[in-house]
Homo-oligomer: A and B are copies of this chain.
Amino acid sequence: AGKSDHQPGERSVDFPVSVVLPAGGTGERTGLQTPKQFCSFLGRPLISYTIQAFERVSWIQSIVVVVAKENVDLMTDIIQRFQHRKVRVVPGGSTRHRSICNGVLALGEGEEAAADRPKVVIIHDAVRPFVEEDFLYKIARAAKEQGAAGAIRPLVSTVIATTSEGYLDHSLERAKYRASEMPQGFTYDVIYEAYQRCSESDFEFGTECLHLALQYCGTNAKLIQGPPTLWKVTYKRDLAAAESIIKETLSQSACAVTGGSTQAVTLADALQKAVGALDMELDVIPDLMGENARYLLKEWNFIQVSVNRSCLSELEALLTDLEAANRALLHPLVVIWVHLSASDELSISERMAEPATIMDLAAAAKLRNILLYGIQLHQSKDTERWERSVLKVAEITSALIRERSPALVGQLLQA
């Protein structure tokens, strides 16, 4: 939470910027049926993460997603389902360059007057979802100043030239070369002219937009080294890496709601310290009233601390609030009910009733993309035993939030 914030104006740009997102790839290299951009991560297709990365940048005015004709309906559904704004879907061409060209043309046409055309067009891959605002800013500024700009990365492997018989011919001097990555940025005029002037052969076989800008507009692109996060989801292993990054981002912080009781606050404070050691930030609040309603709006996970049996109504109220705030739209949200039994002598009927109730609540919450788990611990006057219990709650909490396992919802775990 908070990571995607930025100081308004500080890094803003004073010219209109739009994005073209070619998303026509077929995903051969992952070995999967579904093209990578439509592969689901925590219930949401990868391309929606990429769109979100642009959408949250205030100075980007519109996004054109270019997909194969047969995927236009699918893409339109994705945009509606995840309530994306600023986005238009355009059918692609038979090659990458034809698709990008369609996207660029779409930015210049329609009711929009020439004055509304973007000054700068950023072109990015749908399968590079972790691009950050800082870097987009650098590309947009350099594109405005130089006409064209592109991301580069150091080469990871030595590049070698091969003979036609499959033997080593020579190896390149690594320091002179770079890998060309995305995003790239162009003034609208440069990218528009480049596509107007380029040949059929360029449309068919060309790979680099930067190269067209150089060849047809005489524009030397400024190359800017990007962070490793620009990486492209290419192979099957990259799907796991992407899921892990997404999960890590969602697991950085949680908010413990105590209801204000002394025992609950004491437990929450101890938990705060224990999860802190596990690299999770925990805020402790009495309820979600007033100022604290802001916790409903950001990417927090929730821990409802309850003492004895006063609890399930608080938990139900929390679930209602989260649903009202539409908080689980973009990814499953984790809610953990931590139940502190003040006495070891809980009546049998109390012990038996809760598991079934939590299971039912969890089944209903899951339909709304909320993953509910329970953890039970007992108050103890033995300090060592108490500390062990608290540590165990912290470990279980951290594991549940990080793993976000749908199969384990509704379980009442013992600490």
Instruction: Enumerate chain A interface residues (CB-CB to B < 8 A).
Output: 29, 150, 152-153, 155-163, 166-168, 171-172, 174, 176-181, 207-208, 210-211, 214, 220-224, 228, 231-232, 234-238, 240-245, 348, 355, 359, 392, 395-396, 398-399, 403, 405-408, 410-414
Contacts and interface: CB of A to CB of B under 8 A. Distances in A.
A168 B399 CA distance: 47
A7 B162 CA distance: 34
Given A180-B157, A403-B403, A168 B228 contact: no
A231 B235 contact: yes
Contacts of A174: 207
Contact of A234 (B156, B359, B395): B156
Is chain A's interface secondary structure helix, strand, loop, or mixed overall?
Answer: mixed
Contacts of A244: 237, 240-241, 243-244
Contact of A221 (B157, B168, B180, B359): B168
Contacts of A177: 159-162, 172
Contact of A157 (B168, B179, B223, B242): B179
Contacts of A234: 156
Nearest to A219: B168
Given A180-B157, A414-B359, A235 B228 contact: yes
B171 A159 contact: no
7 contacts: A157-B180, A157-B181, A163-B220, A172-B177, A237-B245, A348-B348, A408-B408
B162 A171 contact: no
A69 B393 CA distance: 42
> Which of A157, A221, A242, A414 neighbours the largest number of chain B CB atoms within 10 Å of its CB?
A157
B162 A176 contact: yes
Contacts of A160: 152, 177-180, 208, 210, 223
Residue with the highest number of chain B CB atoms closer than 10 Å, among A29, A161, A162: A162
Most buried by B among A208, A242, A359: A208
A214 B168 contact: yes
Given A166-B223, A411-B411, 20 more contacts: A153-B157, A155-B159, A156-B234, A157-B180, A159-B177, A160-B179, A160-B180, A161-B176, A166-B222, A167-B223, A171-B180, A171-B208, A171-B211, A238-B241, A240-B243, A240-B244, A241-B241, A244-B244, A348-B348, A412-B414
Nearest to A356: B414
Contacts of A410: 414
Contacts of A408: 396, 399, 408, 413
